[in-house]
Amino acid sequence: MLEKYDYIVIGGGVVGSVITRWLSKYEGSVLLIEKESDICMGSTSSNTAIVHAGYDPLPGSLKARMNVRGNEMWDTLAGELEFPFERRGDYVVAIGEEEFSNLTTLIEQGKKNGVPGMRLLMGDEVRSLEKEINPEVSGALWAETGGICDPFAITISAAENAVVNGAKVMLNTAFEDFIMDGDRIIGIKTNKGDFGCRWAINCAGLYSDVVMHKAGVRPEFKIIPRKGEYFVFDRADITVNNVLFPTPTEKGKGILVTTTLHGNTIIGPNSVLIDDKEDRSCTTAGLDEIWEGAQKLVPGLKRKHIIGMFAGLRPYGNGPCKTPGIDYQHDYIIEIPEKVKGFVNLGGIESPGLASSPAIAEEVVAMLQDAGETLKVKKDWNPIRRSRPRFRDMDHKERERMIRLDPRYGRVICRCENVTEGEIIAEIHSPIPATTYDAIKRRTWLGTGRCQGGFDMPRVVEILAGELGVSPLEITKKGSGSDFLSRPTKNVEGK
Amino acid sequence: MAVKELYDVIVIGSGPGGLAAAIAAKKAGADDVLIIERDIELGGILLQCIHNGFGVEIFKEDLPGPTYSQRFIKEVRALGIETMLDTMVLDITPLKKVYASSKQHGFVVLEARSIVLAMGCRERTRPMIRIPGTRPSGVYTAGTAQRWTNVEGYLPGKRFVILGSGDIGMIMARRLTFEGAKVERVLEVMPHLTGLTRNYVQCLLDFDIQLQLRHTVKRIIGNDRVEAIESVKVDEKWKPVPGTEEIIPCDTLLLSVGLIPENELSKKAGVLLDPRIGGPIVDDSFQTNVPGIFAAGNVVHVYDLVDWVTEAGYVAGNAAGEYAIKERQKETGSITIQAGDNVRYVVPQMLDKAHLTDKPISLQMRVINPIEDPVWVEAHDGSNLVARKAERYVRPGEMVTLKLRPKHFDDVRKAGTLTISVNPK
Ligand SMILES: Cc1cc2nc3c(=O)[nH]c(=O)nc-3n(C[C@H](O)[C@H](O)[C@H](O)COP(=O)(O)OP(=O)(O)OC[C@H]3O[C@@H](n4cnc5c(N)ncnc54)[C@H](O)[C@@H]3O)c2cc1C
Ligand SMILES: Cc1cc2nc3c(=O)[nH]c(=O)nc-3n(C[C@H](O)[C@H](O)[C@H](O)COP(=O)(O)OP(=O)(O)OC[C@H]3O[C@@H](n4cnc5c(N)ncnc54)[C@H](O)[C@@H]3O)c2cc1C
């Protein structure tokens, strides 16, 4: 017998996870499948983590609407799911007169998009607000609704909340094809077997083109990965506590200088079209490009303060991906195509896809209702997901109390980010269990500091092995094939 | 172990630097000495250095790391130095409060009269040298690989390329070869070896492991686990020379590209660092700019021989011990001197207990009324007579002096207040 679901969501990035959370509110069964060993390993794992205000997208686009509405929804969502989010506003910084005049265009665009709380600042004001800024700053666009987030936290907490409300999440499960009955999707084929569904929802990010083609939808639409690279700085050495965008120019969008929620300055991303959807490698040319680009906003950056680097891929849609009534390229596709029944098709959800994700979920639910779904809220739906204790954020008293309750919270495993054994174990036994090193890293930020896991790695491998009841040889960094250790040493083997 | 709240000396870290410092502090006369160590054993990084080469200077013996540190651990135990293991120090303040956390002791706040920073160093990582490429499993610092191999008992790979010709890298090359792993290459970006020649001969040459100077890793290849690295030759300006690229298949890249003194805690305590080396600026007793905070070993600068770390630990520990003793004497505080019967005033009004050492102290006073008969000038602590002397007469116009001598000091120290009176005999 085929296992049947009302809704199957393909892809566990922020978009798939937030949609799953939205659907878990209603009666009906939901399955989220993700091909990797954890959710949040695609585009959502490597980006700038900005919740954009919404002055960037072209007025009238679906992207603009999703961005502005999405931004509005973050406070409530962060409250319900207890993930960190800070609405600290953002700056578009102008250097020189010419750039300053471009800011007016941006403000106009923002107004058309319905972005509240934008203001032009003069050079002096900007200099007094951000001490690291290039002294030649001529002014900035200030948008008070801009925010920063932890992309892992929203994605994981949304999926966890969905699980608690009855949704099922299957990891290491890759979509392969649709099972059709005429023009209706009635199920999917995966490497873990077939599953029946009434609706399939395409949230496959970089692979959303492949998935829609399997349904015979938009065969001309193609995702081209667009790489962006980053450097992360030691917060002990430099802190730019603001989100600083350069003013977009003819030459491109430029390189940002911004901050993580944990106070680490980051710079990036560049923008390079590539052809391999799995190629998240950093390149010499790319790293040079972001280094030089960032000097424009903050000339005082020092290479010796770099502690991390990474690259992400944007799902850049090149095709004539027109939403009904909207006539230009690179907009989001969010549709229920006419010629295939039981299919919600999303594609090209590039930046600001993270910021837009709550609005996209809301939009999908509205579309399903329009298509005749009677969505009834579950009687016992619980919108609240509690965050788990974080040693790093506790004051002395709270730490004392926590360790008295559970001594494992007293053992610090990550020396730079102060993550404890108790936290790691809690993540291993959470609603979406963390079973790899990177899964724990995503949930706790362990290993992201200046020693980059050099200290915690052997200890985390040991804890994982202990909790999962397997040998340390079986513990991986990010799933099958990425093991840490190859065999016991000779003296141990001899024993 | 019952944790006290106040220690004479707290030593942070139990490597050779910390062990020596604790021993010296105790020998200098400090009573309560505590070592806090985040690992589950004392010994520091030496615990994973199972090769020999330690102690040639101090013991005139060639010992393995753990044996070397064991000698000091024994002494620490014999001297009754307290230890808190599996405990991470999270914060230190300029006023020498120490915040630490552990499973066993919970979250503790301790105070110290002096502190010795002996946190050692950490290794430089991949992002710090900005090696491009993918981010698979199998890129480790040499020290992490050393811990896995020598402490945990697991080999972290089968085919290795090692970047950096520092000592840890070369020693690991030999260790891995002993274990049956293949070390394909050691690459060094400098035109010369960065570790000891002794290690080059004993660890690389003797095992036919190829060292390529002026070479570096251009990029890392492999999505899940390292599959290969691309090496490249560099010119005098460290620029890659086109056409010299070579793909070297391997499953592990070890980085032995330098150590950085571990001073995050020091910074929190307001300790100033030397920007060139990243360690505290110290005086000849290894005292930092924060009075009573000392530093020893790799936390100050990276040593090549452990013997010199031990010696630095002795110097810092001895000074920290002496500092604590002085502090203790000061704290015991001061004694108020009061004018009693027929005394108008006494100078000094206060006695610092720290000054009750080997020199007499004069108390000077004037009387209220003249007494033309012999009198006793007396210092009392309540009903206890501490010191007295006789005078033939006293007059308000003539100052009177009473000397407290070292033989009185024990009694003086016990007193909160000394009352001086002048009465007829
Ligand atoms: C460099 C960069 C910077 C960015 N900066 C920002 C920013 O600051 N703010 C912002 O709002 N947005 C930003 N974005 C955009 C944002 O990251 C994306 O829009 C968002 O993460 C897209 O989420 P997603 O869930 O659609 O995609 P993904 O996170 O890629 O999720 C898709 C998931 O589907 C899975 N999948 C694919 N194929 C299959 C299959 N066959 N079977 C099962 N599962 C499958 C994938 O493994 C993946 O987990 C940035 C993006 C990049 C790359
Ligand atoms: C990976 C590595 C391998 C080495 N191999 C060799 C070698 O083979 N031969 C050689 O001659 N030298 C070697 N060295 C150099 C060696 O470090 C020194 O010779 C010597 O061990 C330094 O002693 P130390 O006491 O300064 O530091 P360490 O021995 O590093 O001791 C520092 C101690 O402080 C503890 N600590 C740090 N922070 C905290 C905190 N916040 N709370 C509690 N405890 C803390 C650490 O756990 C550690 O035990 C190596 C160094 C490293 C990093």
- Give Cα separations from A389 to A199, A423, A443 (angstroms): 37, 7, 12
Same domain, residue pair A267 and A297: yes
In a domain, B300, yes or no: yes
Residues 69-88 of A with CB under 8 A from B: none
SS3 state of residue B255: strand
In chain B, the percentage of residues whose pLDDT exceeds 90 is 88
Find the CB nearest A403 among B106, B141, B151: B106
- Residue with the smallest CA separation from ligand 2 atom 17 is B45
Same domain, residue pair B271 and B249: no
Buried b (16+ CB within 10 A) or exposed e, B102-121: bbebbbbebebbbbbbbbbb
Asked if residue A303 has pLDDT above 50, the reply is yes
pLDDT band for position B357 (50/70/90)?
A: confident
Which phi and psi angles does A335 have, rounded to 5°?
-155, 160
- Residues on chain B touching A278 (C-beta within 8 angstroms): 223
Q: Give the per-residue pLDDT at B111.
A: 94
pLDDT band for position A495 (50/70/90)?
A: very low
Asked if residue A491 has pLDDT above 80, the reply is no
Same domain, residue pair B309 and B326: yes
Residue at which a domain ends, from B257, B284, B318:
B257
Q: Is B39 in the pocket of ligand 2 (CB under 6 A)?
A: yes
Asked if residue A252 has pLDDT above 80, the reply is no
Same domain, residue pair A442 and A463: yes
Same domain, residue pair A291 and A431: no
Same domain, residue pair A395 and A356: no
Ligand nearest to the CA of A282: 1
Query: Are the beta carbons of B223 and A491 separated by less than 8 Å?
Result: no
In a domain, B385, yes or no: yes
Q: Give the per-residue pLDDT at B350.
A: 86
**Segments forming the whole domain that contains residue B371:** 334-424
Asked if residue A492 has pLDDT above 80, the reply is no
Segments in B247-365 forming alpha helices (H): 264-268, 306-331
Q: Is residue A278 within 8 angstroms of chain B, CB to CB?
A: yes
Residues 388-427 of A with CB under 8 A from B: 391, 396, 399-400, 403-404, 407-408, 410-412, 415-416, 418, 420-421
Same domain, residue pair B161 and B14: no
| Mean pLDDT of the region B244-270 | 96
Pick the range with the lowest mean pLDDT from A322-331, B109-118, B203-212, B291-300. Answer: A322-331
pLDDT band for position A323 (50/70/90)?
A: low
CA pair distance A342, A18, nearest whole angstrom: 20
Pick the range with the lowest mean pLDDT from A69-78, A271-280, B335-344, B354-363. Answer: B354-363
Residue at which a domain ends, from A281, A300, A315:
A315
In a domain, A486, yes or no: no
In a domain, A306, yes or no: yes
Chain B contact probe: residue of A233, A404, A455 with most B CBs at under 10 A: A455
**CATH number of B410's domain:** 2.60.40
pLDDT band for position A494 (50/70/90)?
A: very low
- Residues on chain B touching A407 (C-beta within 8 angstroms): 103-104, 106
| Mean pLDDT of the region B120-141 | 96
Asked if residue B300 has pLDDT above 60, the reply is yes
Q: Is residue B239 within 8 angstroms of chain A, CB to CB?
A: no
Pick the range with the lowest mean pLDDT from A317-326, A453-462, B165-174. Answer: A317-326
**Segments forming the whole domain that contains residue A250:** 90-144+224-315
Mean pLDDT (chain A, rounded): 94
How far does the centroid of ligand 1 lie from the alpha carbon of residue A228, in Å?
Answer: 13
Same domain, residue pair A398 and A300: no
Same domain, residue pair B375 and B299: no
Find the CB nearest A281 among B125, B137, B219: B219
Same domain, residue pair A322 and A261: no
Residue at which a domain ends, from B204, B233, B257:
B257
Asked if residue A321 has pLDDT above 60, the reply is no
Same domain, residue pair A292 and A406: no
**CATH number of B194's domain:** 3.50.50.60
Same domain, residue pair A289 and A416: no
Chain B contact probe: residue of A411, A425, A446, A471 with most B CBs at under 10 A: A411
Q: Is residue B126 within 8 angstroms of chain A, CB to CB?
A: yes
Looking at the 3D structure of chain A, how many domains does it have?
Answer: 3
Query: Are the beta carbons of A480 and B107 separated by less than 8 Å?
Result: no
Query: Are the beta carbons of B106 and A400 separated by less than 8 Å?
Result: yes
In a domain, B373, yes or no: yes
Same domain, residue pair B100 and B139: no
In chain A, the percentage of residues whose pLDDT exceeds 70 is 96
Q: What long-range pairs does A397-406 form, CB within 8 A, spacing at least 24?
A: A399/B101, A399/B107, A400/B106, A400/B107, A403/B101, A403/B103, A403/B106, A403/B107, A404/B106
**CATH number of A455's domain:** 1.10.10
Q: Give the per-residue pLDDT at B317.
A: 98
Residues 177-236 of B with CB under 8 A from A: 179-180, 218-220, 223-225
In a domain, B1, yes or no: no
Q: Give the per-residue pLDDT at B26.
A: 98
Q: Regarding predicted confidence, which is higher, B364 or B2?
A: B364
Same domain, residue pair A108 and A161: no
In a domain, A27, yes or no: yes
Q: Is residue B159 within 8 angstroms of chain A, CB to CB?
A: no
pLDDT band for position A326 (50/70/90)?
A: very low
pLDDT band for position A327 (50/70/90)?
A: very low
DSSP A37: S
| Mean pLDDT of the region A170-181 | 98
Residue at which a domain ends, from A287, A315, A343:
A315
Q: Give the per-residue pLDDT at A329.
A: 64
Contacts of A109 by beta carbon, 8 Å cutoff, 6+ apart: A55, A56, A58, A59
Looking at the 3D structure of chain B, how many domains does it have?
Answer: 3
Residue at which a domain ends, from A282, A315, A348:
A315
Q: Which of B298, B300, B309 to mutate to test the pocket of ligand 2 (most atoms within 8 A of CB)?
A: B298
| Mean pLDDT of the region A279-298 | 96
Please count the other Cβ atoms lying within 10 Å of the Cβ belonging to residue B1: 10
Same domain, residue pair A15 and A126: no
- Residue with the smallest CA separation from ligand 1 atom 27 is A205
Pick the range with the lowest mean pLDDT from A13-22, A251-260, B217-226. Answer: A251-260
Asked if residue B1 has pLDDT above 70, the reply is no
Answer whether B179's CB lies under 8 Å from B273's CB: no
Q: Give the per-residue pLDDT at A317.
A: 84
How far does the centroid of ligand 2 lie from the alpha carbon of residue A220, in Å?
Answer: 60
pLDDT band for position B33 (50/70/90)?
A: very high
Write the ipTM.
Answer: 0.92
In a domain, B224, yes or no: yes
Report, in angstroms and rounded to the nearest whole number, the Rg of chain A calculated over CA atoms: 23
Is A396 tagged catalytic? no
Same domain, residue pair B202 and B265: no
Residue at which a domain ends, from B303, B332, B361:
B332
pLDDT band for position A237 (50/70/90)?
A: confident
- Residues on chain A touching B267 (C-beta within 8 angstroms): 236
Residues 304-333 of A with CB under 8 A from B: 304, 306-310
Find the CB nearest B107 among A304, A307, A410: A410
- Residue with the smallest CA separation from ligand 2 atom 19 is B306
Find the CB nearest B158 among A416, A486, A490: A486
Residues 356-395 of A with CB under 8 A from B: 391
Same domain, residue pair A30 and A165: yes
Same domain, residue pair B136 and B171: yes
Provide the token pair at A141. Answer: 């666009």
Query: Are the beta carbons of B220 and A281 separated by less than 8 Å?
Result: yes
Q: List the beta bridge partners of residue A200.
A: A8, A343
In a domain, B267, yes or no: yes
Same domain, residue pair A397 and A460: yes
Asked if residue A328 has pLDDT above 60, the reply is no
Q: Is residue A1 within 8 angstroms of chain B, CB to CB?
A: no
pLDDT band for position B271 (50/70/90)?
A: very high
Q: Give the per-residue pLDDT at A335.
A: 96
| Mean pLDDT of the region B387-400 | 93
In a domain, A67, yes or no: no
Same domain, residue pair B204 and B327: no
In a domain, B246, yes or no: yes
Q: Is B195 in the pocket of ligand 2 (CB under 6 A)?
A: no
Same domain, residue pair B289 and B347: no
**CATH number of A329's domain:** 3.50.50.60
| Mean pLDDT of the region B49-59 | 92
- Give Cα separations from B117 to B284, B308, B412 (angstroms): 15, 16, 37
Asked if residue A346 has pLDDT above 90, the reply is yes
Q: Give the per-residue pLDDT at B414.
A: 78
Q: Give the per-residue pLDDT at A319.
A: 57
